Amino acid sequence: MLIAVVVVLAAVLATVVFHVGSGATGGQKAAAGNGSQRIAGESAIRGQAVAWVLSQVGRSTVVTCDAVVCNDLAQSGFPAGDLNVLQPTAPDPYGSELLIATADVRSQFGSKLALVYAPELIARFGSGTNQIDIRVIAQDGPAAFRSALAQDLQARQHAGADLLANKNITVTAGAAALLRSGQVDLRLLTAIAFLSVKVPLSIVSFSTSAPGAAPGVPLRFASLATSDAAARPTSAAYAQSLLAGLRGLRPPYVPLSVTSVRLPTGQTVIRVEFGAPSPAGLISY
Q: Please give the average pLDDT of every successive group of 10 residues along the chain, which has 285 residues.
A: 40 41 52 63 94 94 97 96 96 96 97 97 96 97 96 97 96 97 97 90 94 96 74 64 80 90 87 95 81
Tell me whether residue 284 is in a domain. no
Give the domain range for residue 253: 143-273
Residue 172's pLDDT is what? 96
Burial 234-273 (b: 16+ CB within 10 A, else e): ebeebbeebeebbeeeeeebebbeeeeeeeeeeebbbbbb
The verdict on 60 and 117 lying in the same domain is yes
> What DSSP designation does 280 have?
S
Residues 91 and 197 in one domain: no
Q: How many CA atoms lie within 13 A of 262 on its CB side?
A: 3
CA-angle at 116, arms to 110 and 120, nearest 5°: 100
> CA 107, 102, 33: angle at the middle one, nearest 5?
100
Beta bridge partners of 51: none
Residue where a domain terminates, one of 84, 112, 139: 139
Letter for the amino acid at 61?
T
Query: How many Cα atoms occupy the beta-carbon half-sphere of 209 within 13 Å?
Result: 18
Query: What is the value of pTM for the model shown?
Result: 0.82
Domain for residue 283, yes or no? no
Among 139, 157, 184, which residue terminates a domain?
A: 139
Asked if residue 262 and residue 217 are part of one domain, the reply reads yes
Considering its fold, how many domains does the chain have in total?
A: 2
pLDDT at 199: 83
Write the DSSP string, 213-224: PPTTPPB-EEEE
In a domain, 169, yes or no: yes
| CA 136, 142, 143, 146 torsion-angle sign | positive
Q: Do 43 and 128 fall within a single domain?
A: yes
Of the residues 92, 113, 139, which one is the last residue of a structural domain? Answer: 139
125 vs 102: CA distance, rounded Å: 10
Tell me the CB-side half-sphere exposure of residue 151, using CA atoms within 13 A: 13
pLDDT at 241 (0 to 100): 78
**Same domain membership, residue 195 and residue 233:** yes
pLDDT of residue 235: 61
* Structural contact between residues 100 and 53, judged by C-beta atoms closer than 8 angstroms: yes
